[in-house]
Amino acid sequence: MEHGGNLGKLGNSLRVRIFYHDKCFDGASSAALFARFYRERIRGDVDFTFSGLLHRAGALFDEEDFDGDENAIVDFKYSSSPKITWWFDHHQSAFLSPEDAAHFEQDQSNRKFYDPDFKSCTSFIAMIAQQRFGFDPAPVADLVHWTDIIDGALYPDAKTAVEMQAPAMKLTMVIESAPDQKFVPNLIPLLAEKPLAQILEEPFVAPLLPPLLKRHEISMEILKQRTECKDGTIFFDITDHDLEGYNKFVPYYLHPESIYSVGLSKSSFRVKVSVGSNPWAPEEPVVNLAKICERYGGGGHARVGAISFNVDQHAAAIKASQEIVAELRGAVRQSHK
């Protein structure tokens, strides 16, 4: 878990800790929008701390970290802890257990909200904050627009998604490859206050872009060599490279004929199985990928999901990826009969 990013330190102000989906543009934007809404509509004298949460094998939450006067979780799974006072999410796999889902259903606080039909959690927070609390989302309209495009994969084509010309797409790349634990918490306060193009020019952001764009080029070359598409399903394994934050649209750019993709990548703390569907597929994906990922302890949306394994569970990750590839290829063959 990552900590930091204090905003507006005031003498006797309320301490609000905001937990967000880390290394994710929508996660960071959700935290930024929630903080702006809270300050404008709930309480002005507040000291925010931003803490990143990542999907990993094992426990996702540490109760001791819920140490704010108020604690909010945005764009991440539900926690039934009584210390969590606000929650917003839009993932189909929002609940770790049926008990958590029941706990949410019984909540009477009018502070916890869920809707899996929203493209981004940021746009969901903007809508709830406006309708229930009188928040004006107009100043953050550009941020909301881009989180929907990025989190909902609403690009016109794979070329646009891979070339990353828009400032929001460059920021996404920087956030997904955040160099240290303080970077995203320091960036969050700017997201709901400044134009995205301006944030790219910030002294702590600008130097990160050129090497990341170079890395993007290299990753495209590696994926060109590693991706194999058969029965409408791409498979690739890049666990021998430091590429966990690769652009997830590259496989579809390389294989426009694909419907699904399954990829294995590795970082210092997990082996990740990414399961996705081609937003520009020649035929409509019909398999619910969140449900597949949930069987292995992961989750996500109907069209995109992921599973995290411990770094020492490499063999289990490979086995899961092979089973999922076989299932998806089988589904495509079945649909062609």
User: How many CA atoms, within 13 angstroms, populate the side-chain half-sphere of residue 292?
Assistant: 27
Per-residue pLDDT tens digits for 105-133: 999 999 999 999 999 999 999 999 999 99
- pLDDT of 78 > 90? The answer is yes
Per-residue pLDDT tens digits for 129-187: 999 999 999 999 999 999 999 999 999 999 999 999 999 999 999 999 887 889 999 99
- pLDDT of 3 > 60? The answer is no
Give the pLDDT confidence score for residue 11 in this predicted structure: 53
Domains of the chain by residue range: 14-204, 215-335
Would you give the DSSP letter of residue 305?
A: E
Question: How many other CB atoms are found less than 10 A from the CB of residue 215?
Answer: 16
Sequential DSSP letters for 150-183: HHTT--SSHHHHHH--SHHHHHHHHHHT-SSTTH
Per-residue pLDDT tens digits for 240-264: 998 877 899 999 999 999 999 999 9
Contact (Cβ atoms closer than 8 angstroms) between residue 28 and residue 187: yes
Q: Does 3.10.310.30 match the CATH number of domain 215-335?
A: yes
Contact (Cβ atoms closer than 8 angstroms) between residue 18 and residue 35: yes
Per-residue pLDDT tens digits for 277-314: 999 999 999 999 999 999 999 999 999 999 999 999 99
What pTM was computed for the model?
Answer: 0.85
Which class would CATH give 14-204? alpha beta
Give the three-state DSSP class for 31. Answer: helix
